[in-house]
Every structure is written in structure tokens, then in C-alpha cells.
Amino acid sequence: MKIGIVFGGKSFEHEISIVSAIAMKRVLKAELVYIFCDYNRDFYLIPTDKINSKRFSSGEYKKDKKLILKKGGFFQKSMMSEKRVELDIALNISHGADGEDGKMASLLEFFEIPFIGPRLEASVISYSKLFTKIYAREFGVKTLEYKTLQKSSSRDIELDYPVIVKPTRLGSSIGISIVKNRDDLDYALDVAFEFDTQVVIEPFIQGIKEYNLAGCKTETYQFSIIEEPQKEEFLDFDKKYLDFSRTKRVSEANLSDEMVEKLRDTFVKLYEPLFAGSLIRCDFFVLDGEVYINEINPVPGSMANYLFDNFDEIIANLASYLPRSTKVPAQYKYINTIGAAKGK
């Protein structure tokens, strides 16, 4: 199988997407083709044997072959013809905007390139911290309480401190602050509003337990081990950045069978309605024995490979369980009927 690793994009998470993409070389046995989307949204074919992070930061990638995205795939243009980049399936590993917000899913669906990754609806729901919450609640999964604030709204709000302030639509801890009292709120809001016009404010619960579980659905659900991420107050971007290059298997959290079951059941409730075709990581909170969803990562850092024993096998398998799109018959029934009625 030939996998096209699609990464980059016009996004604050452009750099960590590069790191995640490079990690795939170490954990996937399939033949890989690297398709890079630069900050300018131009696509390039990066030679697999020469890929390293400096190639991008130095701009050297601009000497690589430029690609055009159109129906059926990515094409390399020469003087007289266009040659399709051969791949059996694309793996979307662009984090943040473009990759996780639904644009990459739209491009791949519209141009009919089979891919592993969240579909359009799944992307939009999980990219927004607000939509994640209302989606989760609709399907019977608990979330922490929250308030939302628009950039233009009054900041005169009642809160029980400490709180955590997050831009609604960014991952990887960008623009997030913990606020301990009213005096520090304005600065935190200013920071968050640099990145989004809307913020979500949640209680910050010291010492809340956090557990990460990744998985996908093939014949049945394939679950990873459950990790208890090591954290200080919370992982900031620099620390998370290093985190995206992880390829070493981590150790399993020490949980009762009952809690493992509960986390898996919650995962299924979130995955089932929208996430077919993707491998996601759910970040849960556990408080007084109750499970709350914090975030759904539909393109997790380094695809959460470090949580699986058989990551390579799961990806290969998932390629056969992609959702089918509804068939639309190409017909002109109404136009013809009306034409006939008018005697045309």
C-alpha cells in the first residue's frame, strides 16, 4: 500500500504538523509519499528519503516538485503533460486550520481522493470547543460547564475562579491561559482574542484526572491503551510541540476494568455518529468517578501512534473502512418535466 501523507497548511499548527508527518516514517511500514501544503497553500512533493524539519524552515522545499490538486489526486506538471502522484490512500495529518477545520476533508472529498481522517462534519464539530460540547451533550456525554464570550461582548461576567480561557477554535494549547482572579482576566482574554473572535471559559479544576484514549472503527472498535498524560498545570505549546514527535510506546494508566469500560463506552458515543474513517484521540477528564469529554482530536499529534502496539496494522486496516458518500444520480428530471409541460 502506498500512503500519501498530507501535511502542513495555513495554520498556527503548521510546524507541529511537519513534526507529526516526519514521525510517520518511523512507525508506518507502507511506502510513503509526502505531500506538503505550505503557508501559501501551494502543494509540494517532498522526497521521502530527504524529509527533515530544516527542509521546511529553510524554504529548501520550494525546489521540490510543485503539485496541483484536482479531481482524482495530486498532479505533477511538466511541459507537456500532467502526471498523477500515485497513492492508494491519503492520510490527513495537517493539524489545526485547513487540516482539522474541515477544509482538507472538503478538498479530498470534492476531488474524490480516498483518505483517512475526519470528514467535513466531524472536523467542524471537533475543531470548535463549543460545538464539541453541544455535540457531546446531544449524544449523552458529559462536559464541564462553560461560558462563551464574543470579542465584541461585555467582559463584565460572573465567574468562579480559577478558570481556564481558551480560543474556541484552536488546538495545541495556543492562546490558552489559566486565570486565578478577576485582575488577570483581561490579559487572558486579550491573548485568546488574538486567535479567535470567540472564547470558551471553563472552571479550572486543580488536580482533575486526565486520560487520553485513541481509537477507530474497523470491523469492530480498535482501542489504544489509556494514557494519563504527565502535566504541570497544563502542557504549553513548546512542550506539546516536542510531544508531537513521540514514537515511543507510553505506559498504561492504572485504572479499574470498570473505568476502562466507561471510557471506552464514552469514546464510542462520540465516535459513532460522525468519525468513521478517522483515528481520533479523546482527551477525557474524570471527576468523582464521572467521565467528561475535554477534547476530541480528529488528527491527533503523530496520530497517537505511541498509544498502540499495532499502529501500522490499524492504519492499513482502517483504509478498508472508509465511509461511503451517498450516490447522487446525474439526472435532469425536473428540468425535462417542465420543458415537456411547456412543449419545449
**Site residues for a second copy per CB under 8 A:** 10-12, 14-16, 18-19, 38-42, 53-54, 56-57, 68-71, 97-98, 101-103, 105-107, 109-112, 120-121, 124-125, 128, 130-131, 134-135, 137-138, 150, 195-196, 198, 237-238, 241-242, 273, 326, 328, 330, 332-339, 344
For residue 226, the minimal CB distance to a second copy (Å) is 27
Mind giving me the DSSP string for 83-109? EEPP-SEEEE---STTTTSSHHHHHHH
Closest CA to 118 of 298, 265, 255: 298
Q: Is the sign of the CA dihedral 59, 239, 235, 189 positive or negative?
A: negative
The residue type of 136 is A
Is the CB of residue 141 less than 8 Å from the CB of residue 270? yes
- Cα torsion 190, 193, 194, 200: sign: positive
Burial 16-40 (b: 16+ CB within 10 A, else e): bbbbbbbbbeebbebebbbbbbbee
Q: How far is the CB of 120 from a second copy (least distance, A)?
A: 5
Nearest residue (CB) to a second copy, 14 versus 281: 14
CB of 214 to a second copy, least distance (A): 23
Count other Cβ atoms within 10 Å, centred on residue 88: 13
CA angle centred on 92, ends 87 and 96, rounded to 5°: 155
User: Which residue, 96 or 311, is less far from a second copy as judged by CB?
Assistant: 96
What is the distance between the alpha carbons of residues 11 and 14, in angstroms, rounded to a whole number? 5
Q: How far is the CB of 71 from a second copy (least distance, A)?
A: 6
Tell me the closest approach of the beta carbon of residue 287 to a second copy, in angstroms: 23
Task: Rank residues 37 and 226 by Cβ distance to a second copy and give the closer one.
Answer: 37
Q: Which is nearer to a second copy, 102 or 215 (CB)?
A: 102
User: Radius of gyration over alpha carbons of the chain, in Å?
Assistant: 22
Q: Closest approach of Cβ 329 to a second copy, in Å?
A: 8
Q: Which of 293, 240, 232, 239 is nearest to 262 (CA)?
A: 293
Q: Is 198 helix (H, G, I), strand (E, B) or coil?
A: strand
195 or 223: CB nearest a second copy: 195
Neighbours of 260 (CB within 10 A): 17
**How far apart are CB 312 and a second copy at their closest, in Å?**
26
Comparing CB distances to a second copy, the nearer of 112 and 233 is: 112
Please say whether the beta carbons of 297 and 281 come within 8 A.
yes
Kindly state the smallest distance separating residue 77's Cβ from a second copy, in Å. 11
Residue 36, C-alpha cell as written in the block: 506538503
The strand pair at 115-116 and 89-92 is best described as: parallel
Report the amino acid identity of residue 310.
N
Q: Which is nearer to a second copy, 11 or 224 (CB)?
A: 11
Which is closer to a second copy, CB of 98 or CB of 202? 98
Residue 102 beta carbon to a second copy: minimum distance, rounded to whole angstroms: 5
* CB of 256 or CB of 344, closer to a second copy: 344
